[in-house]
Amino acid sequence: MFEKLLQDLYGAVIRENRWQLYLEGLKNTLLIAGIACLIGILIGLVVALVKFVAAARPSPLWKAAAKVMNAYTTIIRGTPIIVQLLILYNLSYFTEGLYASIIGFGINSGAYVSEIFRSGLNSIDIGQQEAGRSLGLSLGQTMKLIVLPQAVKNTLPALFNEFIALLKETSVAGYIAVRDLTKVADGIRGRTFNSTPLYLAAVVYLIMVVGLAALQKRIERRLARSDRG
């Protein structure tokens, strides 16, 4: 049995330098997840701010902008990510699967991140906004100097969880011809006729998730110490 395991590992990793394919797939997975996360944070922050300001300043313009943002989050959160990727890949100029994946996952993540930021903004006591305005600060200055720093700090754990979920969701990028880690492992499985490559891919995902979770806990401990200080 041990000899069979070694043979499977050799065929899945060493033979024909297949380990290079895993590295290529891992690189694409991290590239998609990393850039999509940044895009999602940017979109989510803008959407959350528009909704927050629309609630504070209920003018017709801000109300209309908030309705557009609500439509965006409803559509994105209400449809599967695979369908969104296929639409973006087949009905747009993003004919390169890697670019379509980055944009698609970024847009998808933005809808969820916006709700994270919105809850973070709503968690800040309204009295702090009123205190900032009483000191002569504009709404924009109050948001930038008082509300946003606290809101971002409160949402860090949820943002980490979103990035972990995004990292795992990239495993469906193979549907639009992206050679991510899962796609590479499945391709090698088809050539070697054993499931070892899929187990290896699962282990790599697990290592990355555990590492991110450990980093999240470390940051949370530092933030807790700074609050006590």
Residue pLDDT tens, the chain, 229 long: 667 677 767 678 778 888 899 999 999 999 999 999 999 999 999 999 999 888 877 788 989 999 999 999 999 999 999 999 999 988 766 668 899 999 999 999 999 999 999 888 888 777 777 677 677 777 777 777 777 778 878 888 889 999 999 999 999 999 998 999 999 999 999 888 888 999 999 999 999 999 999 998 888 888 777 666 5
pLDDT at 43: 97
**Which domain CATH number covers 151?**
1.10.3720.10
Given this model, what pLDDT does residue 227 score? 61
DSSP code at position 145: I
d(CA 82, CA 32): 15
> pLDDT at position 16, please?
82
Model pLDDT, residue 95:
67
Domain around 144: 2-228
Identify residue 153 by its one-letter amino acid code.
Answer: K
At 21 the pLDDT is 92
The tally of CA atoms less than 13 A away on the side-chain side of residue 176 is: 27
Q: Which two tokens stand for residue 227?
A: 């609050």
Query: What pLDDT was estimated at residue 152?
Result: 79
Distance of CA 173 to the CA centre of its chain: 14
CB-facing half-sphere around the CA of 39: CA atoms within 13 A: 18
Number of structural domains found in the chain: 1
